[in-house]
C-alpha cells in the first residue's frame, strides 16, 4: 500500500479513517520499529496527527502515549494542527528577503486572513516560511505545493492563489 494511494482515497467518515489506520498498523504488524511509517500514513489519512489519533495509535500498538507524541513532536514533517490542501512556502533566504519577501507575507496575510504557521478556515491554504527554496536568482520566490513561483510581487499574488482550488 503506497502513501500516494492513501492520499487519493480520501476516506471521509472518521470511523472509516480509523478502520483504514488500523489496517495500516496491521500491515506493519503494530511493530514499534515501524512507528514513523505508521505516523506518515496516519497523517495522509487525517491530514494531521491530532492528540486523539496519537492516543489511538499508542493504544493499538501498546506503546506509551509519550513515545508516540515524542516522535510526532521531534520530526518537523509531522503536524499536530490541521493543514490546508495547499501549502504556501514563502522564501526568506537572503536574496528573497532583500528583494521583498516580507511584502509578500504582508500581502498573503491581507488576502488570506492568516499569518505564518496558520491555516485558512476553509482549509484551502496553510502558510509557512522557508529559509531558502533554491531560487535565489529568481527572487523573491514562493512555492505552493512544491510549484515554484518566481519574481513574485504583491500585485501578482492574488492571480497565483487563484490557480489553486
| Nearest to 41, CA basis, from 23, 58, 24, 19 | 24
Q: Is 1 helix (H, G, I), strand (E, B) or coil?
A: coil
Residue 65 near residue 58 (C-beta atoms within 8 A): yes
- In a 10 Å sphere around its CB, with 0-12 CB exposed, 13-18 middle and 19+ buried, how is residue 29 labelled? exposed
132 annotated among ligand-binding-site residues: yes
96 annotated among ligand-binding-site residues: yes
7 annotated among ligand-binding-site residues: no
Q: Which residues contact 30 (CB under 8 A, 6 or more apart)?
A: 60, 61, 62
Neighbours of 159 (CB within 10 A): 9
Binding-site residue positions? 91, 96, 132, 136
Binding-site residue positions for [2Fe-2S] cluster? 91, 96, 132, 136
Amino acid at each position: 500500500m503506497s502513501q500516494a494511494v492513501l492520499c487519493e482515497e480520501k476516506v471521509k467518515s472518521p470511523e472509516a479513517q480509523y478502520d483504514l489506520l488500523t489496517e495500516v498498523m496491521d500491515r506493519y504488524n503494530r511493530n514499534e520499529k515501524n512507528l514513523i511509517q505508521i505516523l506518515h500514513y496516519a497523517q495522509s489519512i487525517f491530514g494531521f496527527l491530532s492528540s486523539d489519533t496519537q492516543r489511538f495509535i499508542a493504544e493499538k500498538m501498546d506503546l506509551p502515549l509519550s513515545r508516540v507524541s515524542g516522535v510526532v513532536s521531534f520530526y518537523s514533517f509531522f503536524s499536530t494542527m490541521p493543514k490546508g490542501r495547499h501549502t504556501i512556502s514563502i522564501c526568506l533566504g537572503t536574496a528573497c528577503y532583500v528583494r521583498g519577501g516580507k511584502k509578500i507575507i504582508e500581502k498573503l496575510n491581507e488576502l488570506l486572513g492568516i499569518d505564518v504557521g496558520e491555516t485558512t478556515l476553509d482549509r484551502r491554504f496553510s502558510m509557512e516560511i522557508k529559509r531558502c527554496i533554491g531560487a535565489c536568482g529568481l527572487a523573491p520566490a514562493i512555492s505552493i505545493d512544491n510549484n515554484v513561483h518566481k519574481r513574485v510581487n504583491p500585485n501578482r499574488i492574488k492571480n497565483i492563489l487563484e490557480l489553486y482550488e
